[in-house]
Each structure stands twice: as structure tokens, then as C-alpha cells.
Amino acid sequence: MKIKDIYDYLDSLSPFDLQEKWDNSGLVVGSFEEEVKKVYISIDLDEELLSNMEENSLVITHHPLIFSPLKRVNFDSYSTKLLRTLIQKNISLISMHTNIDKTHLNKYVGKDILGLNLENSEEYISYAKVNSSFDKFCEEISKKLNIEELKFVKCSDEVKRVALVTGAGMSMISEVKADCFLTGDIKYHDAMDAKTRGISLIDIRHYESECHFTELLYSLIEKYLKKNKLTAIMANSKNPFSFYNTRRNG
């Protein structure tokens, strides 16, 4: 099967034209005319994952490998180092980023992973009524995402309505209409701002909130690939972060 055919199927599920201007979703590395047999799905690429992939295959990631356009290919950065291996093994790369955020991923994580009762969803933000104590809600979230130490900003003891943006969503804080905001990669100044606005924050982390892309996309394309004699493989890259806990490790 040609990459063009797989690309067209993905486009029918979640149109690439929906992506933001600054995004780079689509066929990032490789040629539409290439024939592939194996299709890997992963939130991202890393060296270990790539070393285990078969040559002449296709990998579909959530995040595009190339964000800042490349003027030098010196194998010293994330993009250029992995680009080399992709080319050496003739592996093609399609990324589905802000398009699938809008059409599937945010809602899937809210409903199927976090078990929230979603009420409505805007482009990147999903909303749910919660009505629970803040501490209890933290406990639930930490269990569902398997996060041992949950970082948060607490503005009140009760959570009434939450807003959810998987990945790194703090740039949307001024649009949030909720008393608690779940998103990842929350920085210090973001926290100071939210605290003053009176909006509680729970950091659901970038990797932990988006690694579900893999199972989600698998469920969306498995049948189609099978029918076309292609094997789909769920193969997430590793979370780059580890944690040293003085209580546990000390």
C-alpha cells in the first residue's frame, strides 16, 4: 500500500487542513509514492523506539519531528539526529497533531481516560461538571493517569467545573470558563497568573495526558489497515522524565 493511500484515509478521519498555521502535521519525512507494509503508532519518536522499527515502514506520531525549519543537519538536536535514522532505515513519518487534538484526542482523554462527564467542547478545550472536593478530585486524577506526585494550584476546596486541554495548554488560560483547569507543562508564571485569577490548576503532564494517542489512533485505523494487509503496531516512545522521591528513594 502506498503512503498516499494511508495519508488520505487519515485525512478523512481528521483533516490535516484543520491544523494550526505554526503546526507541521502531515507527511514530514518520506515520499507519498513509497510502499509500506508495517505502520507504527507513537506519541513521539525516540532512539530506542526507532532502533526497534523495521526498515521501509511508516510511523505515525502525534508530535511532528520538525518544528523549527532546519538550516543545518548536524545530528546534534532531537530533530536532526532522529531524521538521520529515519532516512537510513527508510522509515516514513506522518504526524497528526493539532488536527487530531481538535477532532478526537482531547475528548477521548476527557471521557475514556479521565472518566469525565463532558458537557461541551470548543476547539481545544473540553468542559465537564465535577462537584467534588479538590483533594478527592486530585486523588482520582492521579490514579487515572498513574501519576505518583501530582502538582497543583489550589484556589478553593471544591471543584465545580473543569476545563481540559491535553498537552501544554496554559496559553489558553484567558479563554477558560471553569474553576479548575487540567493541562500539562505548567510553568511557574502560569501558576502565579492562574492563582490570581482564582482558577485552580492540576498538572496532568504532557506525556501522561497525550500518550493515549497511540491506542486511540490504533482503534481508528486498525480495521482499515488489516483490510489492506497492513500490520498496525502500538509502540510508544518512553517518557523522558523520571522522579527521585526523598520519601521513596531517600
Residue set of the binding site: 62-63, 101, 206, 210
Rounded least distance, CB 123 to a copy of itself, Å: 20
Interface stretch with a copy of itself, choices 25-33, 100-108, 111-119, 222-230 (CB under 8 A): 25-33
Phi/psi of residue 85, nearest 5 degrees = -65, -40
Residue whose C-alpha cell reads 507541521 in the numeric block: 24
- Smallest separation, CB 57 to a copy of itself (Å): 16
Cβ contact 60:41 at 8 Å: yes
d(CA 224, CA 234): 15
199 near a copy of itself, rule: CB under 8 A: no
| Cβ neighbours of residue 200 closer than 8 Å, sequence gap 6 or more | 134, 152, 153, 154, 155, 156, 159, 179, 180, 181, 194
Residue 71 CB neighbours (<10 A): 6
| Set of cell numbers at residue 229 | 494487509
Among 44, 163, 180, 216, binds a copy of itself (CB under 8 A): 44
Residues 139-198 that bind a copy of itself (CB under 8 A): 139, 142-143, 147-154, 168, 174, 184-185, 187-189, 191-197
87 vs 219 by CB, closer to a copy of itself: 87
Q: Which is nearer to a copy of itself, 81 or 111 (CB)?
A: 81
Positions in 46-65 near a copy of itself (CB under 8 A): 46-47, 63
Q: Yes or no: say if 79 and 70 are a contact pair by the CB < 8 Å rule.
A: yes
Burial class (CB in 10 A: 0-12, 13-18, 19+), 140: middle
What track of x and - describes contact with a copy of itself for positions 225 through 244 (by CB under 8 A)? ------------x--xxxxx
- Residue 21 lies near a copy of itself (rule: CB under 8 A): no
Give 17: exposed, middle or buried? Use CB within 10 Å, 0-12, 13-18, 19+.
exposed
Q: Which stretch binds a copy of itself (CB under 8 A): 7-15, 40-48, 100-108, 175-183?
A: 40-48
How near is the Cβ of 125 to a copy of itself at its closest, in Å? 18
78 forms part of the interface with a copy of itself (CB under 8 A): yes
- Per CB under 8 A, contacts with a copy of itself among 104-133 are none
Of 32 and 160, CB closest to a copy of itself: 32
Among 12, 21, 69, 120, binds a copy of itself (CB under 8 A): 69
Angle at 116 between CA 114 and CA 120, to 5 degrees: 130
